[in-house]
């Protein structure tokens, strides 16, 4: 599509949407958001880009094939589940680490649950882009 307005707006919007998607992913554990929503928003950004610039440019911007991103996401999610096994817990038991925790403050929480959510993000992101880009090229 050749639209100057869309082209100009897309440059701003894509980065904003991507940033927003990561924000949604990270806040998801306590507030509305999470990997699924984050992945959808991130994909929306690139879908917009694809509409403005075409599928080929989008693939170049992505650097990785979207289906590979989805597969990697699945692997990350699986890894987050298997991780629990090393701590003698059942598959997919969340493992937590609180960096710099004090008595009052639990510090910066890092967890296998977050890693799992990142996997979900990548799967949703990659799967949608797989579909959209293939459709774009097909049409």
Partner 1 sequence: MRSGRQEGPAAATGGDGKIGVTGVAKTGTEVPRVYGGPAGWISVLFPAAIFVWFLQFLGPVAAGEQVLLGIDWVPSMDIRMSVLIDGLSLTFGLLISGIGALVTLYSTKYLGNHPEYPRFVLFLMLFMVGMLGLVLADNLIALFVFWEITTISSYLLIGFDSDSAKSRRSALQALLLTGTGGLALLAGMILLGNVAGSFELSVILTMGDEIRADPLYIPILILFLAGAFTKSAQFPFHFWLPNAMAAPTPVSAYLHSATMVKAGVYLMARMNPSLGGTEPWFWALVIAGGFTTVFASLLAVRQTDIKQVLAYTTLMALGALTLFIGVGTQDAIKAAMLFLVVHSLYKAALFLMIGIVDHETGTREVDQLRGLARKMPVTFVAGALAAISMAGIPPFVGFIGKEFLYKAGLGTEIASLWVTGTIFAASVLMFVAAGIAVARPFLGRTPEALSGTHEGPAAMWIGPLLLGGLSLWLGVFSDVGETWIVAPATWAVYGSTSVAVDLYLFREVNQAFLLSLVTFAAGFVLYLAQRPLRAFLARAIEISPLKFDPGWDRTLDGLKALAEWQTRILQSGVLQRYMVIVFVTLALGMGVTISLKDALGPVVLDFAEEFDGLVFKHWAVLVFITAGALMTAYTSSRMTAVAALGVVGIGVALIFIMFSAPDVAITQLLVETLTVVLVAVAMLKLPHLNLSKEERRPGHAFLSLTVGALVAVVLVAVEQGDIDRRITDYFEVASWPEAYGRNIVNVILVDFRALDTFGEIAVVVIAALAAYALLRGTRYGRVTRDGEE
| Cβ at position 78, least distance to partner 1 in Å | 7
Residues 115/76, Cβ–Cβ less than 8 Å:
yes
Q: Mask: binding to partner 1, 3-22, rule CB under 8 A, as x and -?
A: --------------------
Q: Mask: binding to partner 1, 35-74, rule CB under 8 A, as x and -?
A: xxx--xx-xx--x---x----x----------x--xx-xx
Judged by CB under 8 A, the residue of 29, 64, 101, 107 near partner 1 is: 29
Closer by beta carbon to partner 1, 15 or else 51: 51
Chain centre distance of CA 129: 11
Closest CA to 129 of 84, 52, 64, 33: 64
Print the SS3 string covering 9-49: HHHHHHHHHHHHHHHHHHHCCCCCCCHHHHHHHHHHHHHHH
**C-alpha span between 41 and 139 (Å, rounded):** 24
Q: Give the residues lining the site for partner 1 (CB under 8 A).
A: 24, 28-37, 40-41, 43-44, 47, 51, 56, 67, 70-71, 73-74, 77-78, 80-81, 90-92, 94, 96, 106, 109, 111, 113, 116-117, 119-120, 123-124, 126-128, 130-132, 134-139
């Amino acid at each position: 599509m050749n639209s100057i307005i869309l082209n100009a707006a897309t440059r701003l919007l894509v980065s904003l949407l991507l940033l927003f998607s990561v924000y949604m992913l990270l806040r998801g554990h306590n507030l509305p958001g999470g990997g699924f929503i984050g992945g959808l928003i991130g994909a929306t950004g690139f879908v917009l880009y694809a509409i403005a610039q075409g599928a080929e440019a989008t693939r170049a911007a992505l650097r990785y094939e979207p289906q590979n991103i989805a597969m990697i996401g699945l692997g990350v999610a699986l890894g987050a589940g298997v991780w629990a096994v090393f701590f003698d817990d059942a598959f997919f038991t969340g493992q937590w680490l609180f960096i710099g925790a004090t008595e009052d403050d639990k510090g910066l929480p890092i967890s296998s649950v977050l890693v799992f959510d990142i996997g979900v993000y990548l799967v949703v992101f990659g799967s949608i882009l797989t579909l959209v880009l293939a459709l774009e090229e097909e049409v």
